[in-house]
Structure 1
Amino acid sequence: MTAAPFTLDAPDAASDEVLARLMRLHPKVIDLSLGRTQDLLDRLGRPQDRLPPVVHVAGTNGKGSTIAALRAIAEAAGYKVHVYTSPHLARFHERIRLAGALIGEDALTDLLIECETVNENRPITFFEITTCAAFKAFADTPADLLLLETGLGGRLDSTNMVDRPAATVITPISIDHVQFLGDTLRQIATEKAHIQKAGTPSIVGPQSDEALAVVSEYAQTVGAPLARFGLEWSATPDAAGGFRFDSPAWSGSLPAPNLRGGHQVMNTATSVAAALILRDQGFDLPDTALRDGLGRIDWPARLQTLTRGPIAEALPGWTVTLDGGHNAAAGDILAEELARWAEEDRRDFGAPRPVHAICGMMNSKAATDFLRPLAPYLAGFQTVAIPGEENAFSADDLASMARTAGIAGARAASDIPTAVAGLAGLPVPARLLICGSLYLAGRILRRNG
């Protein structure tokens, strides 16, 4: 059996040309600041002052899943929701969702050209100028709610331009982006805590004691009312995959979310805590919207099962799972899922199915910390360089780090099709895990439709 040939190149679009030009405006030195963002927003007429109610979300892990769950709840109640997330997977358009639909190609191109023109060739980072573009789109299109994800940190993140959001949410904080945010948990938590604002309720998901102390201290300093997991609210998983939610405002049982992984219970519980804050502010989010919304969550590349496309077709009888987790905390979460797979397989097949992995990672990530928890569960491990990414680890370097992390048989593959072809003759049933980066996941999804 041979793997079906496939490519990983994305189709060109007019917006791609503008995005490429915006990349070239990048300052020579990367410095996290708000000055360039503030200047461009002023030139655009301060769109950040004309937004619908904003829920601003920061954290290291779970931001996107929490936003996806809160969007599903609000949309189940009939609200029109803007969403800003990053990075994108297959197309840049995914970053800007306008009143429930991804921004269209023509609208995106026009918007980017407008921002490019108004910026007048001044140095500005790609994230800064595209965030300004998103604010302009959100201000110009009517909606009931904006869910706004930070790109990096919080204090100096370009999204941190809304003076009085309806609520802030801080998902679990761990070590990541140390070159920008600091190399201690306290430093990183401090950066993320700064999205909290005076008088704005702050919903805080599960945290380590150290991170929770930092977040709570800053909230109290600025006067942000706190709704913290384990204190003001709690969530307890049940045997059916759902959870019991308890708070002074509301208590009840909720169904399993439409997201794989035990960690998603806490992400979705955090979104429920946020929904209850919005309910207090006048949003009509009935219990039926909470329950229905959790069953409608759509968030690709988070333990996503691929049932079609070239990889699934090349490996009949395999279960193919795609995940974009890429830091130490994500490695721990993924290891918990692999352990759960083994238990499922013992029940269904009498023994765990072998798990083979294909991994690619960006060179800004602590690869060994991500990979070490996975080592006991893997029957085979191949590394690839992420196609089209200059700042990705080479396959050889990542394989070496994997061996350091305890994956003795790690080996480099020249590309993804070759790695897949190397699995095609192995006994089935088996599992394939593709992991290590949202950028790698995006390349896969582009050709998977």
Structure 2
Amino acid sequence: MTTPAQSEAERIIEKLLGLHPKGFDLSLDRITILLEKLGNPHKRLPPIIHVAGTNGKGSVTAFSRALLEAAGLSVHVHTSPHLVNWYERYRLGIRGEKGRYVEDEVLADALERVASANGGQMITVFEILTAVTFVLFAEHPADAAIIEVGLGGRFDATNVITNPAVSIIMPISLDHQAYLGDSVELIAAEKAGIMKSGSPVVIGHQEYDAALDVLVDTAERLKCPTAVYGQDYSSHEEFGRMVYQDEFSLVDAPLPRLPGRHQLANAAAAIRAVKAAGFEVTNKMIETAMASVEWPGRLQRIKTGHIVDLAPAGSEIWIDGGHNPGAGEVIAEAMAGFEEKQSRPLFLVSGMINTKDQVGYFKAFADIAQYVFTVPIHGTDAAIDPVVLAHAVFDAGLVAAPTSSIEEALEELKKRIVPGKPAPRILIGGSLYLAGNALALNGTVPT
């Protein structure tokens, strides 16, 4: 794989970013016209698992991929945003092996063809990148494709899909209110837009009954065969194992490799969705998937690298891209669970963007974090100044200090270590952009 500095695909994308809007302009008109010019590649894909939700999209995508690959199937995967490199958005399936990120020359060629077909017409870069997804996935045969929604659902560029094998709606909470609405009901209605008449729907664990009601009502109106977490399928931990149950089976499996209690529900949604999509799911597939699943930048522990070298000796370091109150709650719960197993003072190194509820995110850590160091984020114009973010931390009931970088934050953190006490637990998070910054700095980019 070429490095970012040598990447032809990145050069093309940066040029497109200069020509087209960077933000969201939710509509299906532009991408529909573009796909017609390209020969409608989205109509030539293998069975599609279409994933929406506020939180958990990436995890259920990773679990679904792990399950299908455990059966030896080839699985294309589209996710967004990327953490470090643009090619992370496109994983091409290989039968009998794990899928691999698209090679630079293949991605660059697809980008050139899509941009040429667009002919300079007004379009968002995300729409171009989504069209590239369909071109790549149509031109490389595979057994299945997992496609993650970018924003919302109803008007997301991926929603040109007309006949998904299954639609998954993961947990819904308040996020992107400027685009999707200021209540969970309105946001749920937007996410439910990926449901298609008669196509199976799997609804993940929902914290809000109001959101669940909207999802179920929509599925019933569209006559979708529907499986709801806690009603038609479920999972729980028992004696250090995961117990999964649905109307077809009861499975005793290893706990998911991804840490956090919330991953039990995410894994369960993936199992039920893969079944709903028409694939056989065996106990062996589940065992293999739970042990092999990986999802960079989501409660990812790093044990070697530059950040580890900079941190206090013996530190336990986690990187997570969760960026809204719902994500903050599950991450904080995971941190509290680690505390029960091994007592360590928790410090946060945090950066966020200005479209997120900063106070709501930090409130989840009010009772467990000792100190927060706010940092800038590279790679986005929406990053919040560390001084401004520190005020949000104070409003959430925590103490914070603004710093100029992750490196400076770790240096300042060392000054607050109490000699003779356990080494700290450090969570670097608050944004997927920051998670990417941290992985790049550490020298552990996704592969």
TM bracket (short chain): over 0.9
Equivalent in 322, 347, 365 of residue 356 of structure 2: 365
TM-score by length of 1: 0.93
Q: Is 1:415 the equivalent of 2:405?
A: yes
Provide the aligned length of Structure 1 versus Structure 2. Answer: 430
Closer, same or farther in 2 for the Cα pair 1:174/1:299, shift >3 Å? same
Q: Is 1:406 the equivalent of 2:402?
A: no
C-alpha distance in 1, partners of 2:391/2:22?
32
Tell me the CA shift for residue 344 of structure 1.
1.1
**For 1:18-417, what aligned pairs fall within 5 Å after superposition?**
18-27=12-21, 30-99=24-93, 100-207=99-206, 208-240=208-240, 242-278=241-277, 281=278, 283-315=279-311, 316-345=313-342, 352-407=343-398, 409-417=399-407
Q: What secondary structure is seen at the aligned counterpart in 1 of 2:317?
A: strand
Give the partner amino acid of 2:237: P
Tell me the CA shift for residue 356 of structure 1.
1.2
C-alpha distance in 2, partners of 1:206/1:418?
39
Report if aligned partners of 1:383, 1:413 keep a CA contact under 8 Å in 2.
yes
Residue number in structure 2 paired with 1:3: none
Report if aligned partners of 2:301, 2:317 keep a CA contact under 8 Å in 1.
yes
Higher RCO by CA contacts (8 Å cutoff, separation 6 or greater): 1
Report if aligned partners of 2:4, 2:10 keep a CA contact under 8 Å in 1.
no
Tell me the CA shift for residue 24 of structure 1.
2.6
Deviations 1:387-425 (A, max 9, x none): 232111000000011001101x20100112111222235
Q: What secondary structure is seen at the aligned counterpart in 1 of 2:160?
A: coil
C-alpha distance in 2, partners of 1:416/1:152?
28
**Structure 1 stretches lacking a partner, 5+ long:** 1-8, 346-351
C-alpha distance in 1, partners of 2:281/2:23?
45
Tell me the CA shift for residue 210 of structure 1.
0.8
Report if aligned partners of 2:376, 2:385 keep a CA contact under 8 Å in 1.
yes
Q: What secondary structure is seen at the aligned counterpart in 1 of 2:158?
A: coil
Report if aligned partners of 2:48, 2:146 keep a CA contact under 8 Å in 1.
yes
Closer, same or farther in 2 for the Cα pair 1:150/1:28, shift >3 Å? closer
Tell me the CA shift for residue 380 of structure 1.
1.7
C-alpha distance in 2, partners of 1:389/1:209?
34
Structure 1 stretch 439-448 or stretch 136-145: which is displaced more?
Answer: 439-448
C-alpha distance in 1, partners of 2:318/2:143?
35
Give the partner amino acid of 1:332: E
Tell me the CA shift for residue 342 of structure 1.
1.8
C-alpha distance in 2, partners of 1:238/1:369?
32
C-alpha distance in 1, partners of 2:260/2:394?
26
Deviations 1:137-171 (A, max 9, x none): 00000100000100001000111111111111111
TM-score by length of 2: 0.93
Tell me the CA shift for residue 244 of structure 1.
1.7
**Structure 2 stretches lacking a partner, 5+ long:** 94-98
Tell me the CA shift for residue 25 of structure 1.
3.4
Report if aligned partners of 2:219, 2:226 keep a CA contact under 8 Å in 1.
yes
C-alpha distance in 1, partners of 2:377/2:219?
39
C-alpha distance in 1, partners of 2:113/2:440?
27
Report if aligned partners of 1:131, 1:159 keep a CA contact under 8 Å in 2.
yes
Tell me the CA shift for residue 27 of structure 1.
4.3
Q: What secondary structure is seen at the aligned counterpart in 2 of 1:439?
A: helix
Tell me the CA shift for residue 202 of structure 1.
0.3
Structure 1 stretch 426-435 or stretch 144-153: which is displaced more?
Answer: 426-435
Q: Is 1:11 the equivalent of 2:5?
A: yes
